Amino acid sequence: MTDNEWLQDANCKGASTRVFFIYREDKNQRQRREAAYTICRECVVRQECLDYAIVNNEVGIWGGTTDKERRLLRRHIDYRKGTINNVSGFSRRRPLRDYSPNR
């Protein structure tokens, strides 16, 4: 499976991104988090999603995990052997181009 093929089978495809990005001051954060976990729980590409999020340091809920949970998972990945770059065959995405007006 290539880097983006797994996205075609994801349960979250077409879902509102608001469900997966929860702000602390959001009064409905518990409901949104549960909605995201429900979508992720039944997803057939959950592991690929989690691996992608770990490799690319994503924010929000990915693969049924939060940012904090993925930070803990990253601690157990062997950086010295370069394992972080080969989780499920994913490579880091290219950095976004800087379009800031100060450049």
Residue 98 included in any domain:
no
Domain encompassing residue 50: 5-89
Q: 95: left (phi > 0), else alpha (psi -120 to 50), else beta?
A: beta
CA proximity to 74, closest of 94, 96, 57, 59: 57
Span of 32-36, 71-75, 91-95 with lowest mean pLDDT? 91-95
Residue-wise pLDDT tens digits, 76-92: 765 444 455 445 555 55
Residue 96 lies in a domain: no
pTM (2 d.p.): 0.70
**Does 95 reside within a domain?**
no
Does the pLDDT at position 36 exceed 60? yes
Two tokens, residue 12: 């979250």
The domain tally of the chain equals 1
Q: What percent of the chain has pLDDT over 90?
A: 28
Distance, CA of 58 to CA of 54 (rounded, Å):
7
